[in-house]
Amino acid sequence: MRLEKEQIEQHNKQLAAKHQRAFDYIAADVPQVEEILKKLQAFQIAIPSWALGTGGTRFGRFSGKGEPGNLEQKIEDVGLLHALNRSSGAISLHIPWDIPKDAEKIKALAASYDLQFDAVNSNTFQDQAEQEHSYKFGSLHHVDPKVRQQAVQHNIDVINHGIALGSKALTVWLADGSSFPGQLNFREAFQNTLESLKEIYKHLPEDWKLFVEYKAFEPFFYSMTIGDWGQSLLLASKLGDKAYTLVDLGHHLPNANIEQIVSLLLMEGKLGGFHFNDSKYADDDLTAGAIKPYQLFLIFNELVEGMDARGMDHATGLGWMIDASHNLKDPLVDLLQSVEAIMIAYAQALLVDRKALKEAQSQNNIVAAQQILQDAFRTDVRAIVAEARLRDGAALDPIALFNSLAIREALIAERGNNTVATGL
């Protein structure tokens, strides 16, 4: 299924007067609105191929309907999202959940929806049928060099798939850790991981990045071999210039100050990418901005500040990805909500009066500093985000259009009731 330009135009026409009123109202108070619009238009957030089907809980999975059953259909889904918001112009693949059998064909299909391939993700946290060794006790950190070698080779294979598709980054997340004291020698586990990553790094093309993702706990509950940003940064620093830390918002212990982590990683030139989601407890993978929108804003505040300080382009300087899994909502609608929340937080961060904030900080004027941030956060920027979409030929209200066009119903008619997505 593909959206026609006319369908979007007709929807926008219906909402035009209401939108214009709201946009004029906010634009009158934002002198730099044109600059903000350009930045919003340039900003693209990659959609993970594993978020397009209904995810499960630990206890069960209640399958949705009309879900994508193969990579082609997943690309079609992201194409729909991108047509609706023009902010989801890339897809991030997880291999082997999604193996592009004919890369040229897949690339052409993605291009027909104006989509690029973002970071490719390796998977050494599940055993695969054709593999000789099990990852039960880890992969790149494993005590057995044969298991490490198998995991290294898988990552090299993933890089090769990525090269064929035009990806420019590999994300490595390891489910390596221990659940009981004494199970692991921490130092050796870390060193094995480093040596394995060095092997993978050797196969990275010149213009690629390696993202090292960390996670505090789960699936292991005593230690994770790459458990926090310190361990990730240590690895990335030892690996070299092409290696970076990737921050997944759900991968921290409760109340971690993620915005401070972001600021310092940027300072070190070692922040590579993001997995956006939200959480109340741990790696909940809920819709971005659903639980802690102020935190999301504060993170973007540091991103804008830190990227500007380093002269980085907001849109291309980091890898922006969603990593969420939905088991209650329609996954496509949920992704539209996530993208909208991210764009709102970004727009609000662009509103922050940086000069005034600096001044307040230099005077230790905490009241003013708080006021400046909260002024931006409490500004309703939805009409600015909608205007950016409008200028790009997207829908003023993507979710309303998704519903009024009965897109899910059309997908069910095409794909049937019982499709089961691969992946999570």
Binding site for ligand LRH (CB under 6 A): 50, 121, 173, 213, 215, 248, 275, 283, 323, 424
- CA angle 346–351–352, rounded 5-degree value: 105
User: 3-state SS of 112-144?
Assistant: HCCCEECCEEECCCCCCCCCCCCCCCCCCCCCC
Query: In angstroms, what is the minimal distance from the CB of 48 to ligand LRH?
Result: 7
Q: Does 74 bind Mn ion (CB under 5 A)?
A: no
Q: Does 283 bind Mn ion (CB under 5 A)?
A: yes
Query: In angstroms, what is the minimal distance from the CB of 174 to ligand LRH?
Result: 9
Select 148 or 275, whichever has its Cβ closest to Mn ion: 275
Site pattern 247..266 for Mn ion (x: CB under 5 A)? -x------------------
Select 173 or 229, whichever has its Cβ closest to ligand LRH: 173
Residue 251 CA to residue 227 CA, distance in Å, equals: 8
Query: In angstroms, what is the minimal distance from the CB of 251 to ligand LRH?
Result: 7
- CA angle 379–302–386, rounded 5-degree value: 40
Using CB under 5 A, which residues numbered 292 to 331 contact Mn ion? 323
121 binds, among Mn ion, ligand LRH, none (CB under 5 to 8 A by kind): ligand LRH
Query: In angstroms, what is the minimal distance from the CB of 350 to ligand LRH?
Result: 27
Q: Residue 152: which residues within 8 A CB-CB, separation 6 or more? A: 140, 196, 199, 200
Select 348 or 422, whichever has its Cβ closest to ligand LRH: 422
Query: In angstroms, what is the minimal distance from the CB of 117 to ligand LRH?
Result: 16
The Cα-based distances of 377 to 244, 302, 348, 422 in angstroms read 29, 13, 6, 38
Select 73 or 123, whichever has its Cβ closest to ligand LRH: 123
Select 85 or 122, whichever has its Cβ closest to ligand LRH: 122
Select 275 or 326, whichever has its Cβ closest to Mn ion: 275
Q: Which residues of 303-341 are buried (b: 16+ CB within 10 A; e: fewer)?
A: bbbbbeeeebebeebbbbbbbbbbbeebbbbbbbbbbbb
Select 278 or 323, whichever has its Cβ closest to Mn ion: 323
Query: In angstroms, what is the minimal distance from the CB of 143 to ligand LRH?
Result: 23
Q: Return the SS3 of 244.
A: strand
Which one of residues 275, 314, 326, 415 is an interface residue with Mn ion (CB under 5 A)? 275
Query: In angstroms, what is the minimal distance from the CB of 172 to ligand LRH?
Result: 9
Residue nearest to ligand LRH (CB): 173
The Cα-based distances of 362 to 259, 352, 357, 365 in angstroms read 20, 16, 9, 8
Select 296 or 304, whichever has its Cβ closest to ligand LRH: 296
Closest CA to 346 of 310, 379, 309: 379
Using CB atoms within 10 Å of the CB of residue 13, give its burial: 0 to 12 exposed, 13 to 18 middle, 19+ buried: exposed
Query: In angstroms, what is the minimal distance from the CB of 119 to ligand LRH?
Result: 10
259 binds, among Mn ion, ligand LRH, none (CB under 5 to 8 A by kind): none
Question: Could you give the count of Cα atoms lying within 13 Å of 266 in the half-sphere of its Cβ?
Answer: 27
Cβ-contact 385, 345 below 8 angstroms: no
Residues that bind Mn ion (CB under 5 A): 248, 275, 283, 323
